[in-house]
Each structure stands twice: as C-alpha cells, then as structure tokens.
Amino acid sequence: MGTEQIVEGEYEPSSSQWVREQVDLYERTGGREGNTLMDTGMPVVILTTRGRKSGKVRKSAVMRVEHDGEYAVVGSLGGAPEHPSWVHNLRAAPDEVALQDGPEPFAARAREVEGDERARWWDRAVEAYPPYADYREKTDRHIPVFVLTPA
C-alpha cells in the first residue's frame, strides 16, 4: 500500500486482536495473505471507515460480496443483538469509506439498501457466505446491508 490513505487521519486498530492481525497481514501482502475468514477459505475484503465518535480511521475484515463492481457489506456481527460498530460509522460518514479487494484500496460511497434491492443483495451475500442465513435466525434485529460503489 502507498503512503497515502484514502480515508485520511489517524488509524486506530481494532480492539480485537484477530481483526488487527488480519487487517495488518492483508495490507502488508497486498491481499495475498489474510484474505479469507479464519479457516473457512471464504474471501474477505478490508473495509475502512471513519469512526463516528473518535474521528479516527477504522478497519475491519468483512465478507467479500461483489456484483458488477459493487460490493455489499452485511452488518451481521454473527447474529449478535447489536450492530457492528462500522454500521454506525457508515451511517455517519458514507462518503469516508474505502475498500480493499486485492493489492490496492479504493475510495467508495456507501448506501444502506432496503426492499427489493436489499433482498437481491441479501441473496448474493448468503450465496457468498451461507452462515448469513443462520445469523438472521439468531437475532431479532434487522441486519443492515450496505452497497459500496467505487467513488
């Protein structure tokens, strides 16, 4: 990765050790390593957002759900009762987003989708990562789906 960040500011690594290590490995190797969810073999991408409270740059590994050059990110948090923090970050700053799917990150714009569009993206997400269907059964909350379009 070059010296310039797409989402500028101080980077604050995740409080979760495995997330910090995976993001670091993915970025250091240009996506050649750290590009799957643990031992599942299922591909991930790196989502960069602006922290809505801290203002700092935050990064997470999320499942790779791509269609015609756009990507979906699904706020499942494994079916937990609360949203992952990046959901709130995307809602607060949908234009301060980057995604890395391979060697270089790119700027993107996020929009939360509902209705028929959400249903189409949800089906694509479940196809890419079947456990999403189980996560929906585990929680009473509406799992948010965002579509990221390259800026």
Instruction: Classify residue 12: in a domain, yes or no.
Output: no
CATH number of residue 68's parent domain: 2.30.110.10
2 falls within a domain: no
Query: pTM here?
Result: 0.94
In the chain, how many domains are there? 1
**What are 84-141's pLDDT values in tens digits?**
999 999 999 999 999 999 999 999 999 999 999 999 999 999 999 999 999 999 999 9
Range of the domain at 48: 17-150
Flag whether 7 is in a domain. no
Residue 80 forms part of a structural domain: yes
Does residue 9 lie in a domain region? no
Q: 5 lies in a domain?
A: no
Mean of the pLDDT values across residues 47-66? Answer: 96
Using CA atoms, how far apart are residues 23 and 31, in angstroms rounded to an integer?
A: 9
The answer to whether position 72 is within a domain reads yes
Number of residues in the chain = 151
Residue 38 has a pLDDT of: 81
Taking CA atoms, 137 is separated from 36, 59, 82, in Å, by: 24, 27, 14
